[in-house]
Amino acid sequence: MIKLQQYTIQLISQIYIKINLQFSSSHFSIKSYDKIYGFAIPKINYPLKKNALSKQLLN
C-alpha cells in the first residue's frame, strides 16, 4: 500500500514536471486578465504549435 502511494506521487510529479517543461518551452505567457464574472481569467498568448498540449487547450 505504501509502495502504491509512493508510485502515485512519483507519477503525478513526473506529469507535473512534463507539463511545466512544455509550457515554458512553448513560450506560454499569461499576458492579460479579463475581469469577467467577478474574477480574473488569464488570456494565454502562445505560438500555435501542432502538439497535443495546444490541441487540448484549444478544445
Higher pLDDT, 20 or 34: 20
Higher pLDDT, 45 or 13: 13
How much is the CA Rg of the chain, to the nearest whole Å? Answer: 16
Residue 28 has pLDDT above 50, yes or no: no
Q: How far apart are CA 54 and CA 21, in angstroms?
A: 14
CB 30 within 8 A of CB 42: yes
4: three-class secondary structure by DSSP: helix
Residue 4 has pLDDT above 60, yes or no: yes
CB 46 within 8 A of CB 26: yes
Domain ranges of the chain: 2-58
Residue 5 has pLDDT above 60, yes or no: yes
